[in-house]
Amino acid sequence: MNLKGKYMKFIIATRVFNSKSQGCILLHKVAHTLNKIGHQATVIFFNGHGSETQWFFSNDENHFCSEYSYHLINDNLIFENFKNNAIIIYPEIITGNPLGGKNIVRYMLNREGLIKEGVKINPSKRDFILTHSLNYHNKPDFHLFNYDGDRSFNCDGTKVFYEREFDVTYLGKGPKYGHCFIVPGSKEITRDWPSSKQELANMLRSTRYFYTWDCQTATGVDAILCGAFPIYMSYAPITKNEIYNWKDLGISIPEVSYDDTKLLNSSVKLIEMKSYLEIAANKLNESSKHWFSNIEILTQKLKFHFKLY
């Protein structure tokens, strides 16, 4: 059955599943959701970059999310037949159309040329632009923002942030853009420590300030949900205005610098910061509730865009 039938076919280009990569999680989650709502979405894995990119199928259960549903294909001939009239979804780090598909979606999980420095996507005029954040593309065809965190990240029963015990520093991708340091008196967290999401959540639920050199990390969103206030030590690779005007949620973040935290004793400012954390958490949780309906809307837009009706 082709795309004019009861279901649509999708091929998701992704790396093997990595629970510490928000982009990877989203690619796998899109495949899972498309399958759950009645379409057929398979994944093809890649590693490497540019001319050294390698494409492969896999039966290794460690390459998939155990909680997700997949339409598996492990044969080149079957894949080539499936590819006819399928929609291929490439993340923004893929240049051109290496799988030779007809209907192409560019999923902007970051800005073009940021992960692969200076390397352009080279889309065709017919490609559909899907973006995770409005900061990643000026004129997307569809905006699919979604926070996909563990439910352990919450501030239920915790102290208000300014009454908490300690601060943390997160470097993340910060060293890629400049010199970074661990804020004196704070505890450093990394992608590998704490080792589990539950341990990280427990730590963030007791954190006052989340000092981050990586302004786009999903860990910063986890911190907000746990009631820790984010302090941006660097704005790279985006702008100050883009950070403090969170267009994806339609809210503004109170601007508080590292130097401000040393002197912060204004009850008015603290109340403003507390209010922001509450509003942001509510909007983030609300975004998760609309994931399935937004995927339904996306499929209809794709059908119209590629004239598959």
Q: CA–CA separation, 86 vs 248, rounded Å?
A: 29
pLDDT band at 8; cut points 50, 70, 90: very high
Cβ–Cβ under 8 Å, residues 283 and 146 = no
Q: CA–CA separation, 9 vs 57, rounded Å?
A: 17
Q: What is the DSSP string of 150-183?
A: -TT---TTPPPGGG-SEEEEE-TTGGGTS---PP
Predicted confidence (pLDDT) per residue in 49-103, tens digit: 877 899 999 999 999 999 999 999 999 999 999 999 899 999 999 999 999 999 9
Tokens representing 233?
């030590």
Q: CA–CA separation, 200 vs 197, rounded Å?
A: 5
Distances (CA, A) of 174 to 129, 215, 296: 27, 8, 36
Q: CA–CA separation, 90 vs 46, rounded Å?
A: 11
Which segment of 23-32, 137-146, 181-190, 265-274 scores lowest on mean pLDDT? 265-274
Predicted confidence (pLDDT) per residue in 99-128, tens digit: 999 999 999 999 887 666 667 788 899 999
Predicted confidence (pLDDT) per residue in 237-288, tens digit: 889 999 999 999 999 999 999 998 887 766 788 999 999 999 999 999 988 8
Domains of the chain with bracketed CATH: 9-144 (3.40.50), 161-283 (no CATH)
Note the pLDDT of residue 118. Answer: 63
Tokens representing 207?
């954190």
Stronger pLDDT, 4 or 143, i.e. the higher one: 143
Burial class (CB in 10 A: 0-12, 13-18, 19+), 6: exposed
Q: CA–CA separation, 192 vs 205, rounded Å?
A: 18
Note the pLDDT of residue 146. Answer: 83
Q: CA–CA separation, 58 vs 49, rounded Å?
A: 19
Q: What is the pTM of this model?
A: 0.91
The answer to whether the bond into 230 is cis (omega within 30° of 0) is no
Tell me: pLDDT of 3 over 50.
Answer: no
pLDDT band at 2; cut points 50, 70, 90: very low
Note the pLDDT of residue 98. Answer: 95
Q: Over pLDDT 70: what percentage of the chain? A: 95
DSSP 8-state class, residue 138: S
Note the pLDDT of residue 115. Answer: 64
